């Protein structure tokens, strides 16, 4: 599965997603509201910008067209795009409206409040004309088009009809994530990807069963003159309904869901790339379903990279997934790819011989400090030198297999040396994580990470859990 030769034209409502993190320590003396002491912030492209981020994560290139204001939020948004190698910024500046910005205040991993900045002004003719010019300037470079409608004004009739008409003339498929309840607004689209609620509203029909979903999809498909409807159904999975041929449904893979934010963006990005690469429609849906399974297991608006999707697909095909231990060079390429997307990379290491709640707690705390976590495992000889000739209990391959199943872990690498210092120096993560039983000056690699602009985080450990104690209890029994 290789999307590296593909370019996607993304058109739609672009926004800046801003996350402000802090701690609530007291109630304000001015009013009965909590005071949030801010300690960190993250900013990333949202809306159609998140679709573009998903395209990059999957290995393709994106051209992003949308509307921004003449303001600081636009400058920040453009800077986040500039840091994402592979995105072409074709945003149109308007002096009539601010850049759409969603600011989320978060304390103790919970969203406290969200503040939205946007204009309700209808798209103006001159703005529509500029958007259409941007489309004409770059459409010939695209293998596939995604129209991402968030109902914020960009996807008005003039822009939508122009985009679909021009793409059709060139034989370029058009995928639409709808917002309006009248799908004829997207007349001529190749594929429309409503969720169950959107489909029910557009068709004015129930969608509880497979038969009802298919009936509703065929009704709106006829109105929109679309080729395919892909209905996303949360825990029920997806259903693909082509204009000619039988509908195909697949279930969602059972897993713990943490956040559905951005899952629709991931689905449409993966589906469009799959079809553009030559996959049959049902196979593209299967890949999109796997990608959605990856992102809903993450907190916040997230993306799924190609390696995560392939691991998810492998997990569907076999009860036990063969672990994929990256070489140090491959791990470096992965870290560089994540950083190019503006993601913070965390690193921790250990033997992880017999996995216990203390390990899981450490990994969860580590993943909370970064966007992607890479774990370095001592190889078997390294553990024997460290722990003695009776260890490890489990081989490196076995330990990697277990670690692969831990949702907090995004990539694995092993090291043969007594310490992971060389691996840390090669990868230079943004955050180095160890347990709070270490003193900062004793953490291997901390000096190198901090000197490179990173930081050290010492995670609290759960008391009463250790591999040595577990082995001791087994021997006693």
Residues 18 and 133 in one domain: yes
Q: Is 305 domain-assigned?
A: yes
Q: Is 28 domain-assigned?
A: yes
Quote the DSSP letter at residue 195: B
Q: Is 230 domain-assigned?
A: no
Which CATH number do you get for residue 455? 3.40.50.620
Q: Is 243 domain-assigned?
A: no
Q: Is 336 domain-assigned?
A: yes
Residues 262 and 384 in one domain: no
Find out whether 368 is annotated in a ligand binding site. Answer: no
Residues 64 and 152 in one domain: yes
Inter-residue contact 74 to 93 (CB < 8 Å):
yes
Q: Is 373 domain-assigned?
A: yes
Which CATH number do you get for residue 265? 3.40.1190.20
Find out whether 196 is annotated in a ligand binding site. Answer: yes
Question: What total number of domains does the chain contain?
Answer: 2
Range of the domain at 330: 325-476
Find out whether 195 is annotated in a ligand binding site. Answer: yes
Residues 160 and 262 in one domain: yes
What SS3 class is residue 99?
Answer: coil
Per-residue pLDDT of the chain (477 residues; tens, 9 = 90+): 789 999 999 999 999 999 898 888 889 899 988 888 888 888 999 999 999 999 999 999 999 999 999 999 999 999 999 998 899 999 999 999 999 999 999 887 778 889 999 998 999 999 999 999 999 999 999 999 999 999 999 999 999 999 999 999 999 999 999 998 899 999 999 999 999 999 999 999 999 999 999 999 999 999 999 999 999 988 788 999 999 889 999 887 645 444 445 688 989 999 999 999 999 999 999 999 888 877 766 655 567 777 777 777 766 654 333 346 888 888 898 898 888 778 899 999 999 988 888 888 899 999 999 999 999 999 999 999 988 888 888 889 888 888 888 888 999 999 999 999 999 999 999 999 998 889 999 999 999 999 999 999 998 876 655 555 555 555 555
Strands (E), 152-219: 174-177, 191-192
Catalytic residue among 265, 353, 371, 380: 265
pTM greater than 0.75 = no
**Which CA distances in Å does 366 have to 22, 230, 332, 415?**
17, 36, 19, 19
| 149 part of the active site | no
| Positive or negative torsion for Cα 443, 448, 451, 456 | negative
Burial of 390 (0-12, 13-18, 19+ CB in 10 A): exposed
Helix axes 157-170, 125-138, angle to 10 degrees: 20
User: Which of 317, 352, 368 is the last residue in one of the domains?
Assistant: 317
Residues 387 and 410 in one domain: yes
Place of tokens 């949308």: 66
**Cβ neighbour number for residue 116 with a 10 Å cutoff:** 10
User: Which of 297, 317, 337 is the last residue in one of the domains?
Assistant: 317
Residues 124 and 98 in one domain: yes
Find out whether 41 is annotated in a ligand binding site. Answer: no
């Amino acid at each position: 599965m290789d999307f590296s030769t593909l370019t996607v034209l993304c058109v739609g409502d672009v926004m800046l997603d801003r996350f402000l993190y802090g701690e609530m320590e007291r109630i304000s003396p001015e009013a009965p509201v909590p005071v949030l002491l801010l300690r960190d912030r993250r900013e990333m492209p949202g809306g159609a910008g998140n679709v573009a981020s998903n395209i990059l994560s999957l290995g393709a290139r994106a051209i992003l067209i949308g509307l921004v204001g003449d303001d600081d939020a636009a400058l920040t948004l453009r800077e986040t795009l500039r840091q994402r190698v592979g995105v072409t910024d074709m945003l149109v500046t308007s002096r009539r409206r601010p850049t759409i910005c969603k600011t989320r205040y978060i304390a103790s991993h919970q969203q406290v409040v969200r503040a939205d900045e946007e204009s309700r002004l209808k798209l103006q003719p001159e703005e529509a004309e500029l958007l259409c010019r941007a489309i004409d300037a770059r459409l010939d470079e695209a293998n596939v088009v995604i129209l991402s409608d968030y109902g914020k004004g960009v996807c008005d009739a003039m822009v939508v009809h122009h985009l679909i008409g021009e793409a059709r003339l060139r034989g370029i498929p058009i995928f639409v994530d709808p917002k309006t309840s009248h799908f004829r607004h997207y007349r001529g689209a190749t594929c429309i990807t409503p969720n169950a609620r959107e489909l029910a509203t557009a068709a004015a029909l129930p969608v509880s069963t497979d038969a009802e979903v298919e009936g509703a999809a065929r009704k709106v498909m006829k109105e929109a003159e679309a080729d395919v409807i892909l209905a996303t159904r949360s825990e029920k999975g997806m259903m693909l309904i082509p204009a000619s041929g039988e509908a195909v449904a697949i279930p969602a893979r059972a897993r713990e869901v943490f956040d559905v934010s951005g899952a629709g963006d991931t689905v449409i990005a993966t589906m469009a790339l799959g079809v553009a690469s030559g996959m049959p429609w049902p196979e593209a849906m299967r890949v999109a379903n796997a990608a959605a399974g990856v992102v809903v297991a993450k907190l916040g608006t997230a993306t799924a990279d190609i390696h995560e999707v392939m691991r998810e697909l492998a997990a569907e095909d076999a009860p036990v997934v063969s672990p994929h231990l990256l070489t140090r060079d491959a791990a470096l390429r992965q870290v560089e790819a994540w950083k190019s997307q503006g993601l913070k990379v965390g690193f921790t290491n250990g033997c992880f011989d017999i996995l216990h709640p203390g390990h899981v707690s450490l990994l969860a705390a580590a993943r909370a400090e970064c966007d992607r976590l890479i774990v370095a495992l001592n190889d078997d000889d390294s553990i024997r030198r460290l722990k003695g000739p009776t260890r490890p209990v489990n081989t490196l391959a076995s330990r990697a297999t277990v670690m692969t199943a831990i949702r907090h872990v995004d990539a694995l690498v092993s090291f043969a040396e007594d310490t992971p210092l060389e691996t840390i120096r090669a990868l230079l993560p943004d955050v180095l994580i160890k347990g709070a039983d270490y003193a900062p000056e004793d953490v291997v690699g901390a000096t190198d990470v901090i000197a490179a602009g990173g930081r050290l985080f010492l995670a609290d450990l759960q008391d009463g859990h250790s591999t040595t104690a577990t082995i001791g209890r087994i021997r006693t029994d």
